[in-house]
Amino acid sequence: MQIAIDGPAGAGKSTIAKIIAKELGILYLDTGAMYRAITYGIWKNKIDFSDQKAIADFTKENTIDFKGTDVYLSGEKVTEEIRLPIVSRHTSDVACIGEVRRLLVGQQQSIAGCHSVIMDGRDIGSVVLPKADYKFYLDASIDERARRRAIEQQARGIDQDFDSIRESIAVRDYNDSHRDEGPLVCTEDAIVVDTTGKSIEEVCQVILDNIRGGKAHVL
């Protein structure tokens, strides 16, 4: 089984996908964490964010692994580091590089080739799993998405004010929607779920109703 979840930052994709994966007993793959891990490595190694060749080479030469809820970049645990504001700011610069996308999409597709999987990202329904059994596009107002992210950053002990989070999300959404390769799109066959004002449980229920063929309703 293949399930694709796409949508802008803070729409609730990873939270929902993790719960659905557990519920259905299938693998969850956080593709955003892969782009973030490469971005963290580029920053840590002081590679220029405008040097697309060096970034593509770095992507080729390093490995990304998931163990439980942890993310590793060439053996180094980077679970917390990939959520730093500096990483969030630069991930869309890295994610717009065609060669980087081809490499990571290839890895994502080979995982889907041998596991039932739910993946979240920006190009899952359009590029990574175009034949997915189910495609969902989660959305929410920008204020709600920024509020959610602000609460999260606070809990992580990262000091970032609401306005800068909102601005960073808006810039990232714009960049993600306007790049040439694998832009954020809502495919025609995706079920759109507006999560504004909705609890995590309510959103999960809509998704599970659709998957199980029950009486589905789009929020």
d(CA 105, CA 164): 30
Residue from the set 70, 76, 154, 200 that interacts with ligand CDP by CB under 6 A: 200
Which amino acid is residue 49, in one-letter code?
A: F
**Which residues, other chains included, contact 31 with Cβ-Cβ below 8 Å and sequence gap of 6+?**
104, 108, 119, 120, 121, 124, 128
Contacts to ligand CDP from residues 149-168, by CB under 6 A: 152
Q: By CB under 6 A, is residue 148 in contact with ligand CDP?
A: yes
**Is there a binding annotation on residue 7?**
yes
Q: Is 8 annotated as a binding-site member?
A: yes
Residue 15 assigned ligand-binding role: yes
| Residue 214, marked binder | no
Residues with Cβ within 8 Å of 39's Cβ and at least 6 positions away in sequence, in order, are 82, 87, 90, 91, 93, 94
Q: Identify whether the C-beta of residue 187 lies closer than 8 Å to the C-beta of residue 125.
A: yes
CA distance 169 to 148: 11
| Residue of the chain from 42, 58, 59, 121 that contacts ligand CDP (CB under 6 A) | 121
Q: How far apart are CA 109 and CA 119, in angstroms?
A: 10
Site for ligand CDP in 87-116 (CB under 6 A): 91-92, 95
Say whether residue 40 binds ligand CDP (CB under 6 A).
Answer: no
Contact call for residue 132 and ligand CDP (CB under 6 A): no
135 is in an annotated binding site: no
Residue from the set 3, 28, 29, 32 that interacts with ligand CDP by CB under 6 A: 32
Minimum distance from CB of 51 to ligand CDP (Å)?
18
Contact set with ligand CDP (CB under 6 A)? 7, 9-15, 31-32, 35-36, 91-92, 95, 120-123, 148, 152, 172, 176, 195, 198-200, 203
